[in-house]
């Protein structure tokens, strides 16, 4: 019984979520051979294969094609399908990233098989029993997955990316047979983001406000505190829908998912939509006029009060502390 | 330029999710319903594209009879007509949903209506399957780009931008095409009162496709446990500021 895992490449080697997917794939069939597929340009991928060997992969299949210089989801799905036909794996696993979900959706469509995305747990069997995320993780679903092979993606951070050293992996290179139609959907250009500013996704401190800010101008005190802490400004969906802040500032299920050391949520009630985006925060401080606001059930600390009074007082106190 | 936008009726969950006693669904008797957020932007984009390029905009949903409410919402924003694939309220898996939508598009084609663009949300708010748009594209033999935050139609092609680490990735597809979009694509307009009145008179074509056996079969829903915290109250009003600063110092974010 073999399991095939799809590996995406980050700027340096395999990306973190793919390594997590490998750990998940190993747990499906412990002791059984684990195959991995990574897309590369011709001749590339030797170092990548070595890294995958350290994560328990017994055979690394390098799908070589010039199209894989950039993301080409249909071409990659064709490569997966080719390997599925050759290896007849019990399951195909990918990271529950945007791209992992996308490529396995194409695989599911090409093979007319069901796909379970963002799984937390799964056990091989007929049908496969699994637990997956719904509502951006606010709710879980226990489900049965039919068909073979089982197609699934692994919810980000469901399992840690543990190394599992094995004897150096076998490396097999192949060129998937692709038609022009398979190459229509591919990245033709990369627009670099404007430099400067702290990205919300990577910030160590995020100071956010919701409807309680009252207006676009109400964010002045939020921006001041964020600047003092070297952090980024965030907001809730209610704020972007009101047009007070751009969508790029939105924290939540349909916005940015953040994982700062501290998240200061001001005047945010704590709808599941919002909480799905800030579960990764190590510490959550809520500032809210309502002591019964749902966000307090997810907060480590809370101040009961109006953000327009509390936030400027915190900024003043920080300046005072730094002056000492 | 004919544009089809597909939407899903989902509950507005608010602060905490409560399940029905049998664990099969969210208890919705006190909840309102809406269109999944990504798809709200899809509706807005469909209206804008047809305003600019002419043609017809159509909204489609697969859902219970009550989902007509979401179709009327889309019609109130300026969509021209609606297609309702009526279910008995049971969940359809992604494969079954895509098959029914593709069949509806084929039926439109047989009636002489060709769509240049099919818009989907990247993933629904509730099931979050990330696949219906992709599956419909394969069934119809069309290209599909996903997770898009910017679209520009010009000269029989569509330029699509997708957020990627450090920037945006660009796809350039020939039309007809399928695209799946994300919130942030645009800022959806609010329906006007005349828009709501007009929506009541716009046509909604209903049919009842048969539901195949699910191949991703939901057994039950579970509210994740063990995450509820008891927040330590640092104080009330601005007087709490010194204690907040103590906490920030302890965490090590105040340097």
- Please give the residue that has the higher pLDDT: either B48 or A1: B48
The answer to whether B236 contacts A304, with C-beta atoms less than 8 Å apart, is: yes
Contacts of B67 (CB under 8 A, 6+ apart): B9, B61, B84, B86
3-class SS at A156? coil
B14 contacts chain A (CB < 8 A): yes
Question: Tokens representing A311?
Answer: 């936030």
Report the percentage of chain A scoring pLDDT > 70.
Answer: 99
Select from A128, A134, A262, A305 the residue whose CB has the most chain B CBs within 10 Å, as the one to mutate to test that interface: A134
- In this prediction, residue B226 carries a pLDDT of 63
The answer to whether B217 contacts A146, with C-beta atoms less than 8 Å apart, is: yes
Report the percentage of chain B scoring pLDDT > 90.
Answer: 91
| Average pLDDT over every residue of B58-73 | 98
- In this prediction, residue A25 carries a pLDDT of 97
Across the interface, which of B219, B235, B249 has its CB nearest the CB of A303? B235
Least confident of A63-77, B83-97, B217-231: B217-231
Across the interface, which of B174, B217, B228 has its CB nearest the CB of A144? B217
Residues 171-190 of chain B whose Cβ lies under 8 A from any Cβ of chain A: 171-174, 182-184, 187-188
Whether residue A197 is predicted with pLDDT greater than 80 in this model: the reply is no
CB A142 within 8 A of CB A116: no
CB B1 within 8 A of CB B55: yes
- In this prediction, residue A196 carries a pLDDT of 67
| Average pLDDT over every residue of B142-161 | 97
- In this prediction, residue A195 carries a pLDDT of 66
Closest approach of chain B CAs to the CA of A169, in angstroms? 30
- For residue B166, the chain A residues in CB contact (below 8 A) are 192-193
For residue B250, the 8-state DSSP code is H
Whether residue A47 is predicted with pLDDT greater than 90 in this model: the reply is yes
User: If you write DSSP's letter for every residue of A215-264 in order, what string do you get?
Assistant: SSGGGHHHHHHHHHTT-EEEE-HHHHHTTSS-GGGBBSTTSB----SEEE
Instruction: Report the distance separating Cα A81 and Cα A93, nearest Å.
Output: 13
Q: How far is CA B69 from CA A43, B37, B132, B208, in A?
A: 56, 16, 22, 17
Closest approach of chain A CAs to the CA of B220, in angstroms? 5
Instruction: Identify the CA nearest to A231 among candidates A199, A184, A276.
Output: A199
For residue A206, list its beta bridge partners: A232, A263
Angle at which helix A307-323 crosses helix B241-251, to 10 degrees, equals 60
Q: What is the pTM of this model?
A: 0.94
Buried b / exposed e across B165-175, counting CB within 10 Å, b at 16+?
eeebbbbbbeb
| Average pLDDT over every residue of B199-208 | 98
The answer to whether B128 contacts A133, with C-beta atoms less than 8 Å apart, is: yes
Show the beta-strand stretches assigned E in A41-126. Answer: 59-64, 91-95, 115-123
The beta-carbon contacts of B202-205 under 8 Å, at least 24 apart in sequence, are B202/B75, B202/B79, B202/B80, B202/B81, B202/B82, B203/B81, B203/B82, B204/B68, B204/B71, B204/B72, B204/B75, B204/B81, B204/B82, B204/B83, B204/B84, B205/B81, B205/B82, B205/B83, B205/B84
Q: How far is CA B199 from CA B9, B14, B51, B81, B139, in A?
A: 17, 27, 17, 9, 31
Instruction: Report the distance separating Cα B59 and Cα B73, nearest Å.
Output: 10
The answer to whether A269 contacts B217, with C-beta atoms less than 8 Å apart, is: no
Whether residue B170 is predicted with pLDDT greater than 70 in this model: the reply is yes
Whether residue A166 is predicted with pLDDT greater than 80 in this model: the reply is no
pLDDT digits (tens, 9 = 90+) for B6-45: 999 999 987 788 999 999 999 998 899 999 999 999 999 9
* Neighbour count for residue B224 (Cβ, 10 Å): 15
């Amino acid at each position: 019984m073999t399991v095939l895992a799809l590996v995406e490449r980050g700027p340096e080697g395999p990306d973190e979520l793919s390594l997590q997917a490998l750990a998940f794939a190993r747990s499906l069939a412990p002791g059984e051979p684990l195959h991995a597929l990574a897309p590369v340009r011709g001749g590339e991928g030797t170092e990548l294969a070595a890294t995958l060997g350290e994560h328990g992969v017994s055979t690394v299949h390098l799908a070589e094609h010039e199209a894989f210089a950039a993301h080409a989801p249909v071409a990659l799905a064709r490569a997966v399908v080719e390997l599925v036909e050759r290896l007849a794996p019990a399951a195909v696993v990918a990271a529950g990233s945007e791209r992992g979900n996308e490529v396995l959706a194409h695989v599911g469509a090409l093979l007319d098989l069901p796909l379970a995305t963002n799984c937390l747990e799964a056990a091989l069997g007929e049908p496969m029993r699994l637990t997956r995320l719904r509502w951006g993780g606010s709710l879980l679903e226990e489900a049965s997955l039919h068909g073979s092979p089982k197609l699934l993606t692994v919810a980000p951070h469901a399992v840690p990316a543990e190394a599992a050293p094995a004897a150096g992996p076998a490396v097999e290179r192949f060129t998937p047979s692709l038609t022009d139609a398979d190459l229509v959907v591919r990245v033709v250009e990369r627009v670099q983001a404007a430099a400067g500013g702290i990205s919300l996704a990577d910030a160590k401190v995020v100071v956010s406000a919701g409807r309680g800010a009252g207006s676009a101008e109400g964010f002045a005190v939020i921006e001041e505190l964020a600047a003092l802490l070297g952090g980024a400004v965030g907001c809730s969906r209610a704020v972007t829908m009101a047009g007070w802040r751009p969508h790029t500032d939105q924290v939540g299920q349909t916005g940015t998912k953040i994982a700062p050391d501290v998240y200061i949520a001001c005047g945010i009630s704590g709808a599941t939509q919002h909480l799905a985006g800030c579960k990764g925060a190590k510490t959550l401080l809520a500032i809210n006029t309502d002591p019964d606001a749902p966000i307090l059930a997810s907060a480590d600390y809370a101040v009961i009060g109006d953000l327009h009074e509390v936030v400027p007082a915190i900024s003043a106190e920080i300046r005072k502390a730094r002056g000492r | 330029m004919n544009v089809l936008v597909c939407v899903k009726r989902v509950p507005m969950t608010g602060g905490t999710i409560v399940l029905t006693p049998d664990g099969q669904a969210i208890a919705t008797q006190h909840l309102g319903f809406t269109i999944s957020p990504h798809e709200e932007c899809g509706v807005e984009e469909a209206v804008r594209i047809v305003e600019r390029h002419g043609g017809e905009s159509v909204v489609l949903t697969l859902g219970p009879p009550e989902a007509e409410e979401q179709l009327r919402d889309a019609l109130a924003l300026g969509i021209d007509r609606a297609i309702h694939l009526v279910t008995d309220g049971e969940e359809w898996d992604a494969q079954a949903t895509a098959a029914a939508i593709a069949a509806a598009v084929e039926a439109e084609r047989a009636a002489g209506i060709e769509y240049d663009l099919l818009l989907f949300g990247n993933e629904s708010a509730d099931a979050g399957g990330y696949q219906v748009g992709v599956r419909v594209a394969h069934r119809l033999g069309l290209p599909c780009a996903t997770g898009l935050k910017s679209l520009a139609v010009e000269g029989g092609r569509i330029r699509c931008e997708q957020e990627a680490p450090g920037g945006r990735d660009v796809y350039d597809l020939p039309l007809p095409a399928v695209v799946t979009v994300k919130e942030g694509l645009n800022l959806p307009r609010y329906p006007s009162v005349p828009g709501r009145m007009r929506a009541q008179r716009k046509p909604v074509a209903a049919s009842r496709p048969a539901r195949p056996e699910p191949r991703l079969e939901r057994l039950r829903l579970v509210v994740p446990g063990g995450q509820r915290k008891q927040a330590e109250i640092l104080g009330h009003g601005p007087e709490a500021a010194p204690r907040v600063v103590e906490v920030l110092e302890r965490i090590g974010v105040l340097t």
